[in-house]
Amino acid sequence: MVLQLLINSLSNTTEGYIARIRDRLSPNIRQKLDVLHYEVFKTSVTKLELQRALQNSIKDDRVSRVNLFIALGILLFVLIVTPVFFQIFQFLITVRCFLPNNYLVWELTRPISDCSFCRSIDTPLVLQNITRTDFAPFAYSSQPIIIKNAVAHWPALKLLNYSYLKDLYEKVPGALDEDCQFLHFRSADIKSLRDFFSMKKSRVEMKGETELTWYVGWSNCHPVVLEELRKLYPRPHFLPEDAEMPNTDYIFLGYEQGAFMHLDYIPRLMWQAQLQGNKTWVLAPTPECDNVCHSFSFYVEPGDAVLVDTRMWYHGTSIPKGEFALTIQSEYG
Ligand SMILES: [Fe+2]
C-alpha cells in the first residue's frame, strides 16, 4: 500500500516534469517524440518502467549539479586560501622573531637581578692609568670603573672628528649603505648615516642660534671603515690579553642630549673611551634592587676610559649644555 502511494506520487511528479519539458519543445519535435513513445510501448517496456528510468535520470542530474557546486566551491576555496597560506608560510620561514625586537620586549623578558651586582656600590672605582696586571682583579667585576688618562695617548683624540668620519664614509664604497645599527636618540630628523653626513656645516658645529641640537651613535660594522678607524685607536692596553673583542665598535658624538636611561642587551662587558668633551654618566640599579642599591652619577673627561656592566646597570649620559662630546665604545669578555 505504501509502495503504491510512493509510486503514484513519483508518477505525478514525473508527469508534471514531462509536461513542462514538452511545453518547451517545438511541435515538430513533440510529434517525433510521440512516434518514438508509441514505438516503445509496442515493445514489452511498461509505462511504469519508463517513469522509473526518467526518475533515475532526474536524480542523477541533480546529483551531478550538487557535485558540480561542490567542485566549484573547492576550486574557489583553493584559489582564495592558497595565496593566504603562501603568505603565512613565507612569513614563518623569513621572520627572525615573532616578537618585535625593542627595548620594551627586552625589558619585559630580562631575567630578574639578584642585586649582588650593585649591593654596597654607590660610586665608581677611580683608577689612575694602570697596567693590565693591575687591572686584572677588576676586569670582570660589576663595579663601575673610571681609568683616568687611560686613552689620552690615542691618535683618535686629536684626529677623529666629524670631518674625518664624513670623508672616510664617503670615500669607502658602500660604507654609507651598510646596514649597521644607527641610533638617533632625540635627534629624530637624523635617521641614517646619509642624513648625518648631509647636515649643513652650521648645524654640525652648532654655530647658529636656531640650529637643532643633535646627538647620534652607530655601530661601525663596515670592515674597511673599521680597519681605518682602528688605526687611530688601539685595543685598550689594560684589558685582559685573552678578552674577546667584537668585530664592530660604536661611535657616539653630539651635543648636550646624550643617551636616555637604558640597559644594553649585549653579550659582553662595555668599555668606552672619552675622546672629546666631558660627559656625565648616571647609573641606576634595576628596579627590583631599588631597596638595597643606589643610583649615582659621575663625570668623565677626554682621555678617560669608562667600564660599566651596562647589561646590569641602567645608564644614561648627558653632555654639558653647548658642549660637544665624542666617544668610542666597544665590548670585551
Ligand atoms: Fe648603553
| pLDDT tier for residue 91 given thresholds of 50, 70 and 90 | confident
| pLDDT tier for residue 99 given thresholds of 50, 70 and 90 | low
Contact 318, 256 (CB under 8 A): yes
Q: How far is the CA of 260 from the centre of ligand 1 (A)?
A: 9
86 with 147, same domain: the answer is no
Q: How far is the CA of 317 from the centre of ligand 1 (A)?
A: 9
β-bridge partners, 146: 126, 306
Q: How far is the CA of 284 from the centre of ligand 1 (A)?
A: 12
* Residue 109 in domain: no
| pLDDT tier for residue 101 given thresholds of 50, 70 and 90 | low
Count the residues in the chain: 333
Residue linked to cell 645608564: 315
Q: How far is the CA of 262 from the centre of ligand 1 (A)?
A: 6
Q: How far is the CA of 188 from the centre of ligand 1 (A)?
A: 18
For 186-203, what is the mean pLDDT?
Answer: 95
129 with 230, same domain: the answer is yes
CA distance 148 to 152: 9
| Domain CATH for 152 | 2.60.120.650
Q: Specify the pLDDT at position 276.
A: 98
171 with 300, same domain: the answer is yes
State the sign of the Cα–Cα–Cα–Cα dihedral 203, 205, 210, 211.
positive
| pLDDT tier for residue 18 given thresholds of 50, 70 and 90 | confident
Q: Specify the pLDDT at position 98.
A: 59
Q: How far is the CA of 152 from the centre of ligand 1 (A)?
A: 22
219 with 132, same domain: the answer is yes
70 with 170, same domain: the answer is no
Q: How far is the CA of 175 from the centre of ligand 1 (A)?
A: 24
| pLDDT tier for residue 3 given thresholds of 50, 70 and 90 | very low
Q: How far is the CA of 201 from the centre of ligand 1 (A)?
A: 28
143 with 229, same domain: the answer is yes
Pick the range with the lowest mean pLDDT from 57-71, 152-166, 229-243: 57-71
Q: How far is the CA of 315 from the centre of ligand 1 (A)?
A: 6
CA distances from 6 to 1, 49, 52, 63, 121 (A): 9, 14, 12, 21, 98
176 with 220, same domain: the answer is yes
Q: How far is the CA of 266 from the centre of ligand 1 (A)?
A: 9
Q: How far is the CA of 310 from the centre of ligand 1 (A)?
A: 6
* Residue 102 in domain: no
Residue linked to cell 509496442: 42
Tens of pLDDT, residue by residue over 122-179, are: 999 999 989 999 999 999 999 999 999 999 999 999 999 999 999 999 999 999 988 8
Q: How far is the CA of 14 from the centre of ligand 1 (A)?
A: 87
11 with 140, same domain: the answer is no
**What residue type is 277 in one-letter code?**
G
Q: How far is the CA of 200 from the centre of ligand 1 (A)?
A: 28
Q: How far is the CA of 263 from the centre of ligand 1 (A)?
A: 6
Contact 213, 256 (CB under 8 A): yes
143 with 279, same domain: the answer is yes
Tens of pLDDT, residue by residue over 44-58, are: 777 788 778 778 877
Q: Specify the pLDDT at position 209.
A: 80
86 with 196, same domain: the answer is no
272 with 147, same domain: the answer is yes
Q: How far is the CA of 265 from the centre of ligand 1 (A)?
A: 8
* Residue 218 in domain: yes
Q: How far is the CA of 311 from the centre of ligand 1 (A)?
A: 8
* Residue 105 in domain: no
Tens of pLDDT, residue by residue over 275-311, are: 999 999 999 999 999 999 999 999 999 999 999 999 9
Pick the range with the lowest mean pLDDT from 6-10, 231-235, 324-328: 6-10
86 with 119, same domain: the answer is no
* Residue 131 in domain: yes
Domain residues for 82? 2-94
Q: How far is the CA of 287 from the centre of ligand 1 (A)?
A: 17
* Residue 101 in domain: no
Out of 94, 125, 158, a domain closes at 94
Q: How far is the CA of 261 from the centre of ligand 1 (A)?
A: 8
Percentage above 90 pLDDT, the chain:
60
